[in-house]
Amino acid sequence: MGQTMNIGILTGGGDCPGLNAVIRAVVRKSLKLGWRVTGFLNGWKGVIDGNTMPLTEREVSGILPRGGTILGTSRTNPFKNPGDVDKIVQNLKKMQIDALIAIGGEDTLGVALKLHKMGVPIIGVPKTIDNDICGTDTTFGFDTATSIVTEAIDRLHTTAESHHRIMVLEVMGRHTGWIATVSGIAGGADEILIPEVPFDLDTICNHLECRAKSGKNFSIVVVAEGAKPKSMADFATISSEKDEFGHVRLGGIGQLISKEIEKRLGVETRVTVLGHVQRGGSPTAYDRVLATRFGAAAVDLVMSKGWGKMVAFRSYKIVPVELSEAVEKLKTVDMELFNLTQIFFGDPCERVAEKPISRSKK
Ligand code: F6P
């Protein structure tokens, strides 16, 4: 048997179904190797404050199907407050942590990369319901979120049809429209609006009108919270307050376009904002398996001292990739996939645009 290790693990950023499955796999595999696992509470905050819990067989028993994270999470950015990074380095040393596994999205992994460059032995595990991390085909949590949204679209369909209304559904997706695109396709939405493609309300209303003229007396519009009309310079936000990574709280675009559609078309329009329902609850079977594979592979990376790397899912295989590749830019929606949606918009007999929609420059 090789060297006995003491592994630290944390979950940072927005929670996501499947986090507990990763923690469980890391602990179970580590215990088999005779290693110890220490859980840091509430993301980077737990490492700064030295707030931990031991992770043994007992703590991870029964957590596989549970949503959220038993470790708690936060959007703490140690590079924001002077002295916090030093505390991290000191605490890891004091607690004799040989390796740190950071499970998180762009922000958490960005911190992990900076710490790696300072010599901290660190491994990343990608998580986000938004599916916007580069280097990996997908992240756990995304399948669960899109299943929840698809079910919501199905439910909206029956009530929209009964009342002959237009239903606008606002979903998560701060910078990218993966959730809106995939669940919109799965649920048969009549319009899908995403941050990557600024939209034109005249065109949307035109499509909805054509649909009505062709005999369909209801419509479903799915809009990502980060989508905006071409005419709008800023995102619709709930407040101007920013988190420690500089993100404002998005929300309100659904309400805005719903009012405008009703005004322009004179058709009763309702808005539903799914919000955190998309992030809560039990992970799907797909996400449980992906998260379990990620957890086990993270332990393998610790064993091979693959510091500064992240476990990734590529062509059905789990592979290591550089953290730098994962955080240098966001993975935006595949335009081939998005363009598929065009054949379902507007009048069924209308000609599909000859030129596919291309992504606007950010
Ligand atoms: O990062 C994932 C995400 O769910 C985004 O889609 C959303 O904008 C954000 O988190 C919401 O964050 P919070 O839970 O802090 O309001």
Q: What is the pLDDT of residues 258-305, one digit of tens each?
A: 999 999 999 999 999 999 999 999 999 999 999 999 999 999 999 999
Q: Residue 238: what pLDDT?
A: 80
The reported pTM is: 0.94
In angstroms, the CA 102 to CA 120 distance is 12
Determine whether 130 is an active site residue: yes
Residue 350 DSSP one-character state = S
What is the pLDDT of the chain when averaged over all its residues?
94
Q: Residue 349: what pLDDT?
A: 61
Pairing of strands 317-322, 219-224: unpaired
Sheet with 191-193, side-by-side order of all strands = 191-193, 219-224, 166-171, 269-273
pLDDT band at 362 (very low <50, low <70, confident <90, very high): very low
The mean per-residue pLDDT over the stretch 168-196 comes to 97
Residue type at 310 in one-letter notation: M
Looking at the fold, whether 136 and 207 belong to one and the same domain comes out as no
Sign of the Cα pseudo-torsion (62, 63, 65, 68, in order)? positive
- Those residues whose C-beta lies under 8 Å from the C-beta of residue 320, and which sit 6 or more positions away, are 297, 301, 306, 309, 310, 311, 312
pLDDT at 71 over 50: yes
> Which residue in 130, 143, 190, 287 is the catalytic one?
130
Q: Residue 255: what pLDDT?
A: 95
Q: Residue 243: what pLDDT?
A: 92
For a mutational test of ligand 1's pocket, the pick from 11, 69, 130, i.e. the residue with the most ligand atoms closer than 8 A to its C-beta, is: 130
Q: Residue 251: what pLDDT?
A: 86
pLDDT band at 359 (very low <50, low <70, confident <90, very high): low
Q: Which of 131-145, 266-280, 338-352 has the lowest mean pLDDT?
A: 338-352
Q: Summarize pLDDT for 99-131 with one digit per residue, the tens.
A: 999 999 999 999 999 999 999 999 999 999 999
**Which residue, 77, 18, 1, is CA-closest to 44?**
77
- Those residues whose C-beta lies under 8 Å from the C-beta of residue 48, and which sit 6 or more positions away, are 76, 78, 84, 87, 88, 91
Looking at the fold, whether 33 and 116 belong to one and the same domain comes out as yes
Looking at the fold, whether 116 and 190 belong to one and the same domain comes out as no
Q: Residue 303: what pLDDT?
A: 97
Top pLDDT among 346 and 100 is at 100
pLDDT band at 64 (very low <50, low <70, confident <90, very high): very high
Tokens of 3: 């060297």
Is the separation of the CB atoms in 201 and 257 below 8 Å? yes
The mean per-residue pLDDT over the stretch 247-268 comes to 94
pLDDT at 239 over 90: no
Ligand 1 centre from 14 Cα, in Å?
A: 6
Cβ of 127 closer than 6 Å to ligand 1, yes or no, is: no
pLDDT band at 322 (very low <50, low <70, confident <90, very high): very high
Looking at the fold, whether 254 and 342 belong to one and the same domain comes out as yes
Looking at the fold, whether 244 and 289 belong to one and the same domain comes out as no
Angle ∠(76,278,289) on CA atoms, nearest 5: 85
Query: By percentage, how much of the chain surpasses pLDDT 90?
Result: 87
Looking at the fold, whether 342 and 298 belong to one and the same domain comes out as no
Q: Which of 11-25, 102-116, 312-326, 330-344 has the lowest mean pLDDT?
A: 330-344
Is the separation of the CB atoms in 250 and 195 below 8 Å? no
Looking at the fold, whether 96 and 212 belong to one and the same domain comes out as no
In angstroms, the CA 51 to CA 307 distance is 23
- Can you state the percent helix, strand and coil of the chain, rounding each to 5? 40, 20, 40
What is the number of structural domains in the chain? Answer: 2
Looking at the fold, whether 133 and 199 belong to one and the same domain comes out as no
Range of the domain at 248: 145-279+334-351
Top pLDDT among 12 and 1 is at 12
Is the separation of the CB atoms in 103 and 22 below 8 Å? yes
pLDDT at 356 over 80: no
The mean per-residue pLDDT over the stretch 7-35 comes to 98
Is the separation of the CB atoms in 250 and 236 below 8 Å? yes
For residue 244, the domain's CATH number is 3.40.50.460
When computed from its CA atoms, the radius of gyration of the chain, rounded to whole angstroms, is 22
Residue that is written with structure tokens 């043994």 in the block:
56
**Which residue, 147, 142, 146, 148, is CA-closest to 129?**
142
pLDDT at 361 over 50: no
Ligand 1 centre from 116 Cα, in Å?
A: 25
Ligand 1 centre from 303 Cα, in Å?
A: 33
For residue 29, the domain's CATH number is 3.40.50.450
Q: Which atom of ligand 1 is nearest to the CA of 179?
A: 6
Residue that is written with structure tokens 């332990």 in the block:
299
pLDDT band at 350 (very low <50, low <70, confident <90, very high): low
Is the separation of the CB atoms in 116 and 307 below 8 Å? yes
Is 176 part of any domain? yes
Sheet with 122-126, side-by-side order of all strands = 52-54, 36-40, 6-11, 99-104, 122-126, 309-314, 317-322
Looking at the fold, whether 178 and 274 belong to one and the same domain comes out as yes
